[in-house]
Structure 1
Amino acid sequence: MSNEALAAVLASTSAVLLDFDGPICSVFSAFSPAAVAEELRARLRLVDAPKTSEPFEILSYVARTEPSAAARAETELARLETRAVAEATPTPGAAAVLQHFDESGRRVVVVSNNSAVSVRAYLYQHHLAGYVAAVSSRLEADPNLLKPHPHLLFHAAELLNLSVRDCAMVGDSSTDIEAARAAGARVIAYANKPAKRDRFERLRPDAIIDDMAELICVRAPS
C-alpha cells in the first residue's frame, strides 16, 4: 500500500489509538511470554492448567474454570507484565512518533490488552506519558473484553470525547485489525516482521507501514 493510503487515513481522522506491545515497545523482549506464563502458573498453583507460552491463555483459563480466582490471576499477571516492561526494548521511532503527534495536536490513546499499570509504568519510565492523552487497557480479569473485541477502542474514543470513526488504530496484529473493523475505526497495520505484510494485505487494512517513522514522514494527499 502507498504513502497516499496512509496519508488519506491520517487526513480523515483526528486521533490515534496506538497498540502498546509492538508499536511502542517489545513488552516481553527480556522476560519471554513463555517465562511469564510459567511464572503465572506457579504463582497461582495451577496444576491442571494447559501448558502454554501465552500468559493471556492462562488468564482466560482461570476466568473460565475458576472465576473466584480471576481477580488474583489478573493482579499477578499485571505484576509480571510490569516486571517485563522494566526491561522492554523500545520500538525504533516510537518516541519520535508520539512527540510528533503531540506537537501536531493529534491526540493519542494507548489501546492495549496488556495491563494498564504496566503500560503506564513503561510510559513514565521512558518519559512518554506527557505525549499520551489516555490509556485504554486491561483493568479487570475479563479476557472477553480484550481485542479483538472492540470494547477497548470504544472506551478510548469515549476518553477523547470523539466518535471511534474519527480515530485511526495502529497495531501490529490481526486482532488489532479485527477490533478496529468491529468498532468502525480506520486501521493502520504495522508490519514489524517481513511475514506480516502478506498476512495483513489479505486482511485489507486501510494502510500498512513497515516502520513507525512512516507516521512522521507521510506526505499530505494532494
Structure 2
Amino acid sequence: MAELLRARRTVLLDFDGPICAVFSSITDLQVATELVAIAGAEHLPQSVRAANDPFDVLRHAADHRDGESLVAIEARFRDLECAAVDTADPTPGAEEVLRALSARKYRVGVVTNNSAAAADRYLRRLGLRSTVGVIVGRPGTRVDLLKPSPFLLTTALRQLSVQPDDALFVGDSMSDVVAGHSAGVSCVALANKSGKAERFASLQPESTITSMLELLDALAV
C-alpha cells in the first residue's frame, strides 16, 4: 500500500463507504420506499417495489419511465441524499486520511454515484471541503454513466489534469474496482464487510484493506 501511494500523487475516493455511511439515520430502505411511491408502485415489478437500494429504483426508472418522471425521481433522490448526510456516520479514519493527503499535497477527488451536492454538503459540514480538489457525482438522470462505467473517474482525472497511472482509487464495491480498472487507475478495495475480500479477489485490485485506518498508516510510512 505504501508503495502504491509513493508512486502516485493523486487519490480518488468513493464517497459512500470510504468517507461516510450516507444512509445512517435515514436508511436506504426509507429512501427506496419514497422513490417507489413517486414512481407509482402499481407500475413497478415486485422486485423493484421491494428494493432496499434506491439505485435499483432509479435504474428501473431510467430504463422504463418517461423523462419527466425520471427527473422527478432523481431530484427527490438528490434531496434525500442531502438530508441524509446531515446525520451520516463518518467512516473511521476517513477524516484523518483526507487531512493527511491534503497535508502531503496529494491531489484528491471524490468520485461517487451519489449526488455531488450531497458529498459537498457532507464535506463542508465536517470542515473537509478544502481537502478535496474535485467532486464528481451522479450526472443527473444519466444512470448509464454511473460506476461501473469509467465516466466519473475519467471526468475527475480530466478535471484534476492527471493521467490514470498517477492515480489511485479507493472504493468499497465491485463496481468501483471495475470502473477504476476500466479508467486505467489502480484500485484499493475497501472490504469493510464480511465476505467482501473474497468477492474482490476475482477482480484483482492492486490492494485490499479492511479499514481506512490502514490507508492512514500507509501514508505515515
What's the TM-score, normalizing by structure 1? 0.92
**Are the aligned partners of 2:139 and 2:145 in contact in 1 as well (CA < 8 Å)?**
no
SS at match of 1:187: strand
* Cα RMSD for the two superposed structures: 1.5
SS at match of 1:203: coil
Name the amino acid aligned to 2:164.
Answer: V
**Residue 12 (1) aligns with residue 11 (2):** no
Deviation at 1:39, TM superposition (A): 0.9
SS at match of 1:213: helix
Correspondences of 1:1-222 after superposition (within 5 Å):
6-49=1-44, 50-51=48-49, 52-68=51-67, 69-218=69-218
SS at match of 1:189: strand
Partners of 2:93 and 2:87 lie apart in 1 by 18
Deviates more, 1:54-63 or 1:111-120: 54-63
Partners of 1:127 and 1:161 lie apart in 2 by 25
Partners of 1:10 and 1:192 lie apart in 2 by 20
SS at match of 2:109: strand
Partners of 2:195 and 2:172 lie apart in 1 by 12
Aligned pair in 2 of structure 1 residues 220, 213: CA closer, same or farther (>3 Å)? closer
**Are the aligned partners of 1:168 and 1:186 in contact in 2 as well (CA < 8 Å)?**
yes
Deviation at 1:47, TM superposition (A): 2.5
Partners of 2:75 and 2:220 lie apart in 1 by 44
Deviation at 1:72, TM superposition (A): 1.6
**Are the aligned partners of 1:11 and 1:220 in contact in 2 as well (CA < 8 Å)?**
no
**Are the aligned partners of 1:149 and 1:179 in contact in 2 as well (CA < 8 Å)?**
yes
Partners of 2:219 and 2:162 lie apart in 1 by 25
**Structure 1 spans left out of the alignment, 5+ residues:** 1-5
Deviation at 1:220, TM superposition (A): 8.4
* Percent of pairs with identical residues: 38
1:172-220 superposed Cα distances (whole Å, 9 cap, x missing partner): 1111100011110000011112321122223210011111122221178
Partners of 2:194 and 2:102 lie apart in 1 by 29
Partners of 2:106 and 2:100 lie apart in 1 by 9
Deviation at 1:45, TM superposition (A): 3.3
**Are the aligned partners of 1:26 and 1:91 in contact in 2 as well (CA < 8 Å)?**
yes
Q: Which runs of 4+ in 1 moved over 2 A?
A: 43-47
1:100-121 superposed Cα distances (whole Å, 9 cap, x missing partner): 0000001110000001111111
Deviation at 1:46, TM superposition (A): 4.2
**Are the aligned partners of 1:153 and 1:164 in contact in 2 as well (CA < 8 Å)?**
no
SS at match of 2:97: helix
**Are the aligned partners of 1:85 and 1:122 in contact in 2 as well (CA < 8 Å)?**
yes
SS at match of 1:114: coil
Partners of 2:59 and 2:219 lie apart in 1 by 42
Deviation at 1:44, TM superposition (A): 3.8
